A and B are shown apart, each in its own frame.
Chain A
Amino acid sequence: MEEEEQVIGDFNRWRQRPELAEAVAAIKALTAVIQRSQASTMMGLEIELKNASEMLKAWDRSSISLSAGCDLFMRYVTRTSALEYEDINAGKSRLIERGERFGDISLKARETIALLGQDFVQDGCCILVHGSSRVVLALLKLAANNGKNFTVIVTEGGPKKTGMEVSKKLSAAGIPVTVIVDSAVAYTMDRVDMVLVGADGVVESGGIINVIGTFQVALIAHSMKRPFYVAAESFKFARLYPLDQQDLSISTGQEESSNPARDYTPPHYLTLLFTDLGVLTPSAVSDELIQLYL
């Protein structure tokens, strides 16, 4: 179907830019769908959007931020159709405006989070980073640019060794970096002042889904009383409630129980979440989720 190709084509074109999050690319593609739409009623437009959203979600079933971003866009945009419009064009322009605003907020989300989170980086502190997150990188770069002196310890992130890329980018920004193997986290934790990670998704309980090993690091940080901070954009807030690690593979539909790519960290182990909606405690996340989805 050509519509499908167009949507996926748009999506892939936006994804070419490496700085853009997957969900933001999806949001831009969905806004383009509204612009192209030939529907003559609001219901027709909504159905087109829903189909496009389903196509994008099917493209990569395992990406939680992609499906959460699509869901949030649908909720945010179609909420407007509750109001009556005299003609479809006024309604369409309103929807496009809201779609673009949502896209802008999501695009700037990283900067907002960096601004909020860099207050928590003190001079002379040592930060442990796990996983490869562009939000975390932006936060640390901003703190360094604002003249804060701190050191970073990056876990190797096996088996794909993503930590090496992260360490290269950090040292390019002039931040002293040390890379450690994943098993050395407990050994180094007493030298560390705080732990900072990104998230693939933030779930209803206030917990996070992130690259495998995050739960382990959180357990160690908690037992050694180190603050564990998460930097995540608001479009990653998903309507999921995993009760244990197995629930995760069920909801994302992956068969990887022997070699999982992600794990779930319960809210009990998180100290604070830095989001573009503000600094939140894990218990505040469900409040924000309700506000976003209702």
Chain B
Amino acid sequence: MFEELNNIAGWSLKNLPTNKMILISDWNTDASFLLHHFLAFYLKANSKVVLAHAAQSFIHYNLACSRLGVNLERSRNNGDLIALNLLDASLQQYVEGSCENLSLDSEECLNFLFGDNSLKHLFKVLKRCVENTKDALIILDDVTLFLGLGVSQKDLNYFVHYMDVLCKSNNCTFVTLFHQNFAPNISEPSPYLCCQLYASYEIEVKGLESGYSKDVHGVLTLKTKETEGIKTYQPHKVMHYRLTDRSLQLLAPGTSSAVL
């Protein structure tokens, strides 16, 4: 896991963010490395993790997390990790019309592909996974994909609302990824703004405005919601980051070794 990110946000293995929704958003870049961080972080803290993946295969997460010191295959066998393979199930259901050889949970999740077009079943499955569990983590990779699979913005907003209810009632945390370069239908509330409304933390990842640099890979902004007061956010923390296989280096803007 990325220690520097935890230090900046005030998190640790003994101080996990619970009862919260964490939104990871990116703009013309890929912030999925932060999902690997949360996977490794919570598994190292011996919390239960539910990984609903529709963007990448399980092998991808296993490889990425192995570099961070966590074996997802072993965690899945131990029961610490529940992996909902929405990627394979969606392809199989779309092409063949059924989900043979897949777990019942995955099949139920994807009923929205035909007819129903709502994420109600996915919500119910996720709720069942975290029932009677404390400090669990639900990761959904990623929420923007559903908009391309026939789910309306309104239904996605309802889903985000219900995930917020689930977090608060079951004392768990929900982490999801949102790609901001999705163009919303302006007649309905934007799902990104809806996610922002419910999220207690937002980690926004963008590329450098000045262009590509091999020493600095982008800009990471941590936005924390105020609990009291009229202002929505505490002052943002803006940092440059450099990502390697095993670590994430965070720098104050302009202090990279390439500049100084």
The yes or no verdict on A and B being binding partners is: no
- Where the two chains meet, the residues of B that have a C-beta atom closer than 8 Å to any C-beta of A are none
